[in-house]
Amino acid sequence: MDLAEKIKHLREVEGELRGLNRPMTQMEVVKAMQEELQASLSQAYLSQLEKGKRVHLTASSRDLLAQFFKVHPGYLVSDPPDYSTDLLTDMAEDSDRLANWLAAQTTEWATEPEVQNFFEHLASTPDPRRYLALFDQLIYLPINALEEFVRMLNPHNENGAD
């Protein structure tokens, strides 16, 4: 998105936020800036920016627009030509998202060994989806009954892990 599109978009959003149900006009922006910030840009300058006749802002103009529209001043520059706001991944399309997510969780939960251990074991199983489906069913059992069941299956291990 270039600077011209961003300013037009900000006028649209500001008009909605102010209850106008339409974009603010350039003149309304100029007047509101003057009333609210005791400083303003000219309507002609805003027009040149929106038409792309001016592609850069002075630092003071950028700060004033950012303050008025309540955005970070860095927003008020044109994005590079290949810039995208879409989230992209370099992972192959056919990769197993669950396996990748589980592997990431093993490091994410390093400060909580029980949770980390769970994710490590789940990630190492041949079919973690089946385990998750069973865990989904087990969650409805009373925890005391589930603990007793695990103790019966594995009486040598107090917490039920292998």
Q: What sections of the chain are H helices per DSSP? A: 3-17, 26-37, 43-50, 59-69, 97-108, 113-124, 128-138, 143-153
Provide the CB-side half-sphere exposure for 102 (13 A, CA). 20
- Domains in the chain: ranges and CATH: 3-75 (1.10.260.40), 97-153 (no CATH)
| pLDDT above 60 (res 144) | yes
pLDDT of residue 160: 46
For 107-141, the pLDDT digits (tens) are 778 788 898 889 888 988 988 999 999 989 988 99
pLDDT of residue 96: 77
pLDDT of residue 158: 57
Residue 47 neighbours by CB under 8 Å, 6+ apart = 26
- Supply the angle between the helices 59-69 and 26-37 in degrees, to the nearest 10: 90
Q: Phi, psi (5° rounding) for residue 61? A: -65, -40
The mean-pLDDT minimum among 11-20, 38-47, 93-102, 146-155 falls in 93-102
| pLDDT above 70 (res 92) | no
The mean-pLDDT minimum among 26-30, 46-50, 146-150 falls in 146-150
For 32, the token pair is 């509101």
pLDDT of residue 162: 45
The C-alpha atoms of residue 27 and residue 55 are separated, in whole angstroms, by 20
Q: Phi, psi (5° rounding) for residue 100? A: -65, -40
Between the CA of residue 28 and those of 1, 25, 93, 133, what are the distances in Å?
A: 23, 5, 48, 58
The C-alpha atoms of residue 130 and residue 122 are separated, in whole angstroms, by 10
* Cβ atoms within 10 Å, residue 123: 17
Produce one character per residue of 12-35: b if its CB has 16 or more CB atoms within 10 Å, e if not: eebbeeeeeeebbebebbbeebee
pLDDT of residue 94: 54
For 48-81, the pLDDT digits (tens) are 999 989 888 889 999 999 999 999 988 888 777 7
CB of 50 closer than 8 Å to CB of 26? yes
For 35, the token pair is 């009333």
